[in-house]
Every structure is written in C-alpha cells, then in structure tokens.
Amino acid sequence: MTKGLIGCAVLALAVILIAGLMVGGIYNRLVGLNEGVDSAWAQVENVYQRRADLIPNLVATVKGAAAFEQETLQNVIEARAKVGQVNFDKAPTPGQMQQFQAGQDGLSSALSRLLVVVEQYPELKATQAYRDLQVQLEGTENRIAVERQRYNEVAREYNTSRNRVPAVFVARFLGFSEKAYFESKPGAEEPPKVDF
C-alpha cells in the first residue's frame, strides 16, 4: 500500500506541477498581451494629444500669415482707391499735383511692400500655410486612424487569448478583464471643424 500511496502522491504532484506550469504560462501570456493593449492605447492617446497640441498652433500660424498678407493687400486696395479719386480734366494745380503725388506715392509704397512679399514668397505664404495645415490635419487624422486600428488588433488578440479555455478560468480568477474595442462616438464620422 505504501507504494500505491507514493505513486498517487507522485502523480498528484505531477498534476499539480503541470497545472501550475500551465497556469503560469497562461498568466505570463495574459500579462504580455495586457501590456500590449495598454501600450497601444497609450499610442492612441499620444496621437490625440498630438492633434490637440498641433492644430491650434497651425491655425494660429495660418491666421497670422493670412492677417499679414490681408493687411498688405488691403493697403494696396486702399491706395489704389485714393489714386482713382484724383481725376483732372486739365493740368493740375500745385495743390492738386500734391494730392495726386501723395496718392501715387501711397500706392507705390503699398505696391513695393506687396512686391517684397511676393519676391520673398513666390506663392503667398498664407496659401502655403493653408496647404500645410490641410496636410497636417490629414496626416494627424491618418495617424489617429492607424493607432486606433492597431489598438483594436491587440485588444482582439488579448480578448481572444483571454476568452479561450482554460485561460478564461485563470483570467477570471486572477482578475484579467476583457478590453474594450475602440468605437467612435456618435457623430464622430464628421471631420473636426477648423474655424478661421
């Protein structure tokens, strides 16, 4: 009988050892997958933070460039209007000549500022800034989409492993809960509004 008890004890220890190794393997796999999900979620938050940091700065830059160019163009328009107000049927008097010359000088000054802008920037800077803003918006939204997709992939891998037998029993006992998939909010299909 002693040999039978020893054999049963050895068999029980072997079963316990195998079960322990299996539980340990399941636990380690779930820990690794859980960390992968957490890391993927952190990256999703990272690209959202990038958008939150980047977009207002880009919009402010575009507004600044557009305001400068708008001011320059407005000066040209106003100077041109002043020149158009001075019309003579015959040779001007000295006072009219001063008025005419002042209008022409104002227009020349405004045009020279505009030419400096145009020479320095073959395309108006605001136009390029608008294009850059569009590119950055598109790139940011693409990054967000990619990271959300990656997150859902690692969440799926984790949930699949967690919900398989025997891992589901180990996961419940050790507190590994399912991970939620990223789902957009209602109305999220609308692109973010950029207001100038």
Q: How many CB atoms lie within 10 A of CB 50?
A: 16
With contact defined as beta carbons under 8 Å apart, do 77 and 56 qualify?
no
pLDDT in tens, 129-139: 667 777 877 78
76 confidence band (pLDDT: 50, 70, 90) = low
The pTM of the full predicted model, rounded to 2 decimals, is: 0.56
List the Cα angle 43/45/46 in 5-degree steps: 60
In this prediction, residue 195 carries a pLDDT of 63
User: Residue 164: helix, strand or coil by DSSP?
Assistant: coil
Q: What is the DSSP code string of 68-92?
A: HHHHHHHHHHHHHHHHHH---SSSP
44, amino acid identity? V
- Domains of the chain: residue spans and CATH: 2-174 (1.10.287)
In this prediction, residue 39 carries a pLDDT of 86
Six token digits for residue 124: 């108006």
196 confidence band (pLDDT: 50, 70, 90) = low
Helices (DSSP H) in 86-124: which residue ranges?
94-120
For residues 138-159, b (16+ Cβ closer than 10 Å) or e, as one string?
eebeebbeebbebbbebbeebb
Q: Is 11 exposed, middle or buried (0-12, 13-18, 19+ CB in 10 A)?
A: exposed
pLDDT in tens, 96-120: 667 766 766 666 666 566 656 555 5
- Distance CA(36)–CA(31), nearest Å, equals 9
- Mean pLDDT over the full length of the chain: 76
